[in-house]
Every structure is written in C-alpha cells, then in structure tokens.
Amino acid sequence: MTVAPWAEPKPTACLVLADGLVLMGDGAGATGTAVGELCFNTAMTGYQEILTDPSYAGQIVTFTFPHIGNVGANPDDVETVAAEAERAALGCVLRAPITTPQNWRATEDFGAWLAERGIVGITGVDTRAITARIRDGGMMNCAIAHNPDGVFDVPALLALAKGAPDMAGAEIATTVSGRKTVNWTAGTWQWGEGFEDPKGGNGPRIVALDYGIKGNILRLLASRGAQVTVLPADASVEEVLSVNPDGLFLSNGPGDPGATSLVVGDTLRALLARGLPTFGICLGHQLLGLAIGARTKKMRQGHHGANHPVLDLDTGTVSIVSMNHGFTVDGATLPANARETHRSLFDGTNCGLALTDRPAFSVQYHPEASPGPHDSHNLFDRFLAMVMEAKAAVAP
C-alpha cells in the first residue's frame, strides 16, 4: 500500500517506529531512507558534533531542543576522525524547521550540510512525544524516509523498522575504526586562532585504540604535549607494543560492548597484564570493565545529552558532563581488584572505575565534551600524570 496522507500541503518525510507509530513531517537533509535505533539527545547546542560522533553509528537522533540550525555548520566542528566513520548518525528528528545560520563561524546551512553527509532528516514532528515514548518503551528501531514527492510506502517502512537488527549484540566499533596508523598532532581549538600546534611533541607516547574515536579526545591529549599514535580497534598486542607506548587510551565507540569485546578483549587483557597505564572513555570504559571480568547491560533509554550530573565517589564533588551511551557496566559485577569511582545522579548507574592493582581507570561519560561542559578536562591531566609516574618508576 502506497500512502500520501493529504494532498496539500504534502508531507515530504515520514517517520515510522517499530511499535507502529507513524509521523508525517517535512524532509530535511538527504533524500532516501535510513533505518536504525531511535534515541534522543537533550543537548541544546553542538548538534554538528553529535551527528559526527561515531558512537552514534547505526542510530537516528531525536533532538529534544526545538530550534536546530541557528549555529549552521563548519568543518571545524566535525568530530569524526576516520574516513570509515564518515557517516556516524544515520538520521535526525527535529521539532521546528531548520533555522538560518546566525553564527560567525558558520560556513554553510545546516540542512545543506546534512544532505552532503547523507543524513536523512524530518522536521515538524512532536519530539516531546517521541522522547516520552522512548522513556516509556525504551529505545527502538525506526525508519525515516525523505521523499520530495510526498509518497511513502508506510507498511514497507514499518517492515524495515521491525526487521532491523537490534543494537544488543551488534559489533559496530571495528566497522567505524580507522584502518591506518595515524600520528595525531592537532591541539584544541582556540578562539580566533583555530586548532593549536602541538606543544613540543616530546611528552609521553600514547597509543589510542580507535573504536570510533572523537577528534577532541585526541586534541586534548596532544595539547598537553602527548605524542599520540592512533591504531585500529583490532590492533594486535605486538602492533601496540611496537610503538613503545608509555600509556594506552581506549576510545569511545558504537554498538554492544559485549560483541566488540569478543574481538578485542584478549588484546586488552594482555596489555593490562603488562601494567601499561590505561585510560578509557565510554565504550573504552565498558571494554575495560569486560576485560577485567565485569558485565555490561543494555539500558532502556540510555544517556544522551550534555547536562548529566555525575558524582565522584572519591571526592564527593559533582560534575555536569556529556554522555552518549546505550549500555552500561554493571557496577555490582566489578571484581575484587576494581572499585567504582563515579556514579550517575540521574539513575545510579556506574560511570567510572579504577583498578586497585595496576594503573588503569575509565569513565562512562565524555570528559572531552564537544559538545558539553568542560568540568572533567582534568581527567586527561590525571591520565598523563599517571603515565609519567609509571614511566619514572622504571627509569634507570
């Protein structure tokens, strides 16, 4: 059955959820159809960084903030690093029509940028209702179609949504990982100057395993003088050690950590056994947890936004952080040689761990932000201080 719900004005986009909800609206971005897991993000800014975060691979993002597009788009705010992760988020769902850019950094309209990246969008739908539906029923698959002719085969779209693979069990990280070794040099973005040059380049050697790494993570490491080498997600122990690293970084990324751990878990356990100082973020946190024997589980709605309060159990301080994850480490399953260091104040889920018998720690959230607050940038200083301490302990 082909459906064109009303003749004038015609809708040019259709969103169909796997539970049967059908919403008509106006198309934005690329034409065509995208199928993936539907989630919502509560951030008010940083939509370009969100859609280019490889952690969103396989997902369609509903923005709860109604006005999207006023900042426009520019090449500096792209978080994708590897060409393999060029299409991170598959689509976006918006309440209001995309607004005209009103920012001095904008180089193009957000809608045109969406089209260039192949991101299918729909506007003019009730994003509050969608958010409530996800909160009640959990994240579910959907199909989003943009057709300027306004003709949609709704039963076929529903079949696509229902037939899409579940994110649980999905191994996606290795598909968005870069396949080449990259020596990263760019530092953080500075007002009026752009991306800074590396500071000296004679700091500790850090190997970053790319499970879908964000650019700002690498910038924050490089801006602190680290010599950063990015390796593919499935790099072997020998490939990692050939760089003669002083520290190991485990990146963010998409998909089910349990599935990715089947590919990379043995390597991580072997590297941890060598006592290599290690820091993990997001998927890297989950993979570290799995490598030491903890378990992960899928969340109902996940955490996606830039306003999440996290409690530091060591200091009692609360940080507002950026988050993007649909799985979590089960804090109750941490082994005896690990302790919980951070906890979400929204739902009490685990947000950090540290090993007690070797120099390794990780956090579930995104201390590099982009977008989000900078409350937790100090974690990069903590990691590099840990690396330097370990390096000094073995120096002749």
Residue 199 has pLDDT above 70, yes or no: no
State the burial class of residue 164 (Cβ atoms within 10 Å of its Cβ: 0-12, 13-18, 19+): middle
Residue 151 has pLDDT above 80, yes or no: yes
| pLDDT at residue 196, as a whole number | 72
Instruction: Name the nearest CA neighbour of 95 among 134, 50, 131, 138.
Output: 131
Residue 157 has pLDDT above 60, yes or no: yes
pTM of the model: 0.95
| pLDDT at residue 346, as a whole number | 97
- Do 366 and 323 contact (CB within 8 A), yes or no? yes
Higher pLDDT, 186 or 257: 257
E strand map for the chain: 13-17, 22-29, 32-41, 59-63, 91-93, 120-123, 140-146, 182-184, 189-190, 194-195, 205-210, 227-232, 247-250, 278-281, 296-312, 318-329, 338-344, 350-355, 360-363
Taken in order 301, 19, 56, 174, the sign of the CA dihedral is positive
**pLDDT tier at 198 (50, 70, 90 boundaries)?**
low
| pLDDT at residue 2, as a whole number | 45
Q: Is the peptide bond before 371 cis (omega within 30 degrees of 0)?
A: yes
Please name the amino acid found at residue 158: L
The owner of tokens 């693979």 is 165
| pLDDT at residue 207, as a whole number | 98
Report how far residue 122's alpha carbon sits from residue 14's, in angstroms, rounded to the nearest whole number. 7
| Over residues 156-170, mean pLDDT | 97
| pLDDT at residue 86, as a whole number | 79
Token digits of residue 301: 């709605």
Q: CA angle, 87 as apex, 162 and 177 as ends, to 5°?
A: 105
Instruction: Name the nearest CA neighbour of 253 among 228, 272, 234.
Output: 234
Residue 262: strand, helix, or coil: helix
Q: What is the pLDDT of residues 44-101, one digit of tens each?
A: 999 999 999 999 999 999 999 999 999 999 999 999 999 887 779 999 999 999 999 9
Question: The CATH number of 13-163 is which of 3.40.50.10540, 3.40.50.970, 3.40.50.1980, 3.50.30.20?
Answer: 3.50.30.20
| Over residues 321-340, mean pLDDT | 98
- Do 279 and 388 contact (CB within 8 A), yes or no? no
The CATH number assigned to the domain with range 173-393 reads 3.40.50.880
**Region of poorest pLDDT, from 183-187, 325-329, 360-364, 371-375:** 183-187
Which of 142, 282, 303, 304 is the catalytic position?
A: 282
| Catalytic (active site) residue 116 | no
| pLDDT at residue 9, as a whole number | 79
| Over residues 21-48, mean pLDDT | 97
Instruction: Name the nearest CA neighbour of 328 among 372, 283, 366.
Output: 283
| Over residues 160-181, mean pLDDT | 97
**pLDDT tier at 1 (50, 70, 90 boundaries)?**
very low
| Over residues 347-361, mean pLDDT | 98
| pLDDT at residue 4, as a whole number | 45
| Over residues 131-135, mean pLDDT | 96
Enumerate the domain spans of the chain.
Answer: 13-163, 173-393
| pLDDT at residue 189, as a whole number | 77
| pLDDT at residue 200, as a whole number | 54
Phi-psi group of 344: left, alpha or beta (phi > 0 → left; psi -120 to 50 → alpha; rest → beta): beta
Token digits of residue 62: 């509903």
| pLDDT at residue 91, as a whole number | 98
The owner of tokens 């015609």 is 10
Report how far residue 29's alpha carbon sits from residue 122's, in angstroms, rounded to the nearest whole number. 8
| Catalytic (active site) residue 282 | yes
| Catalytic (active site) residue 351 | no
Q: Is the peptide bond before 232 cis (omega within 30 degrees of 0)?
A: no
Residue 289 has pLDDT above 50, yes or no: yes
- Helices 283-291/257-273 angle, 10° precision: 60
Mean pLDDT estimate for the chain: 94
Helices in the chain by DSSP H: which ranges? 47-51, 110-116, 127-137, 154-163, 173-176, 215-223, 237-241, 257-273, 283-291, 378-393
Question: Which DSSP state fits 366?
Answer: B
| pLDDT at residue 212, as a whole number | 97
Give me the percent of the chain exceeding a pLDDT of 70: 96
| pLDDT at residue 255, as a whole number | 98
